[in-house]
Amino acid sequence: MLLRAGALLALGGAAVPLTGCDLFDRDDESRPPDPLEPLAAEATALEARHRAAATAVPALAERLTAIADAHRAHAEELRKAIGRPAPSGTPAAVPSVAPADPDTVRTELRQAEQEGRDNAAKACAAAPAERAALLGSIAAARATHMEALK
Amino acid sequence: MSPTSGPAQALGDALAAEYAAIWAYGVIGVHLTEAARSAARAAEAAHRSRRDALILQLSSGGGQVPADRAGYALPYPVTDRASALKLAVEIEERTAGHWRAALPHTTGADRNKALAALTDCALRATRWRRTAGVTPITVPFPGRQT
């Protein structure tokens, strides 16, 4: 169970773009990547997705902006727990902002939140005690986002 | 709320919160109608099953199982739909807080159970905010004292 969660997190880490990493940065060399890195990157990516969607579907803007703000707050808390700033030069890819069908947008975002909830729940299960409460709140928040996107 | 010193204490606190939630829904339900009343009944049933699971878990661990209280003081008068919905949101956030507090004191299956309970409370709080017309209907860190 724990091993499985660890393997999944490692896979998530591999998906984070490596551009901008300084190959000769001593600090990076001496410290292995924190297991929370993929989750922090995911929070930043989810924030970007919701902000883009808020622009594409003005009718949903208020709801989506509140969710985007929550993802930003999650990313900030995760960065604090990691104790290092985000890897530089890797801004989250901003998805297209073409006007879109609200139902499609909500369905896609719900799916993204579901994946995010599952990732946060796995991280919570595998985390040391001092990180469990933060990760639990993030998993629960992502579940409430799915509800808010209904 | 109270500082916890171990798994039994943390789960005992969660049990106390579940007792209080069950009691509160008795007050809440009578001020609601139709779909909201059904939702209150379902919420109460969910808290009862968490309570029962906790009692089983704590007693099989050989520890002390805190007893329910005879009654509780309401934080404000609950006299109509609006105050009932306000209490429903607060009781879910409060219970979420106790389950959140249990996370650092648990591991494995017990932690997953605590997370499932925290998530359920957060979801119900969100639905109650929607019913009450409160925005935003979500909070960034469910269960965290603000």
The mean pLDDT of A15-37, rounded to a whole number, is 64
Q: Look up the domain containing A129 and give its range.
A: 2-8+33-148
Whether chain A has a CB inside 8 Å of the CB on B112: the answer is: yes
ipTM > 0.90, yes or no = yes
The pLDDT of residue A94 is: 63
Q: Do A143 and B122 touch (CB under 8 A)?
A: yes
The pTM for the full model equals: 0.86
Q: How many residues does chain B have?
A: 146
Contacts of A97 (CB under 8 A, 6+ apart): A52, A55, A56
Distance CA A122, CA A127 (A): 9
| Confidence tier at B16 by pLDDT (50, 70, 90) | very high
Q: Is residue A93 part of a domain?
A: yes
Q: Is residue A43 part of a domain?
A: yes
Number of domains within chain A: 1
CB-CB neighbours of B79 under 10 Å = 9
Q: Is residue A97 part of a domain?
A: yes
Collapse the DSSP code of A88 into the 3-class scheme (helix H, G, I; strand E, B; otherwise coil) and give the result. coil
Q: Is residue A27 part of a domain?
A: no
Choices 3.40.120.10, 1.20.1260.10, 3.40.50.1370, 2.120.10.10: CATH for B7-132: 1.20.1260.10
Whether chain A has a CB inside 8 Å of the CB on B117: the answer is: no
Minimal Cα distance from A73: which residue of B?
B140
Contact A51, A16 (CB under 8 A): no
DSSP B5-71: -SHHHHHHHHHHHHHHHHHHHHHHHTT--HHHHHHHHHHHHHHHHHHHHHHHHHHHTTS--PPPPS-
Q: Is residue A80 part of a domain?
A: yes
Contact B31, B79 (CB under 8 A): yes
Q: Burial of A98 by CB count in 10 Å (0-12 exposed, 13-18 middle, 19+ buried)?
A: exposed
A69: left (phi over 0), alpha (psi -120 to 50) or beta: alpha
Where do the structural domains in chain B lie, given as residue ranges?
7-132
A88: which 2 tokens?
A: 């530089």
The pLDDT of residue A20 is: 52
| Confidence tier at A9 by pLDDT (50, 70, 90) | very low
The pLDDT of residue A33 is: 87
pLDDT digits (tens, 9 = 90+) for B22-81: 999 999 999 999 999 999 999 999 999 999 999 999 998 877 899 999 889 999 999 999
What CATH code is carried by the domain that includes residue A91?
1.20.1260
Enumerate the residues of chain A whose CB falls inside 8 A of the CB of residue B118.
136-137, 140
B60: which 2 tokens?
A: 């099989």
pLDDT digits (tens, 9 = 90+) for B95-137: 999 999 999 999 999 999 999 999 999 999 999 999 999 999 9
Enumerate the residues of chain B whose CB falls inside 8 A of the CB of residue A124.
103, 111, 115
Whether residue B91 is predicted with pLDDT greater than 60 in this model: the reply is yes
Whether residue A5 is predicted with pLDDT greater than 50 in this model: the reply is no
Residue recorded with tokens 């219970």: B95
The pLDDT of residue A91 is: 59
Q: Is residue A46 part of a domain?
A: yes
From B121's Cα to the closest Cα of chain A, the distance in A is: 9
The pLDDT of residue B40 is: 98
* C-alpha R_g of chain A: 16
pLDDT digits (tens, 9 = 90+) for A77-96: 999 999 988 877 655 566 66
pLDDT digits (tens, 9 = 90+) for B128-140: 999 999 999 999 9
Whether residue A28 is predicted with pLDDT greater than 80 in this model: the reply is no
CA distances from B3 to B7, B9, B13, B94, B100 (A): 12, 9, 10, 15, 13
| Confidence tier at A27 by pLDDT (50, 70, 90) | low
Q: Is residue A28 part of a domain?
A: no
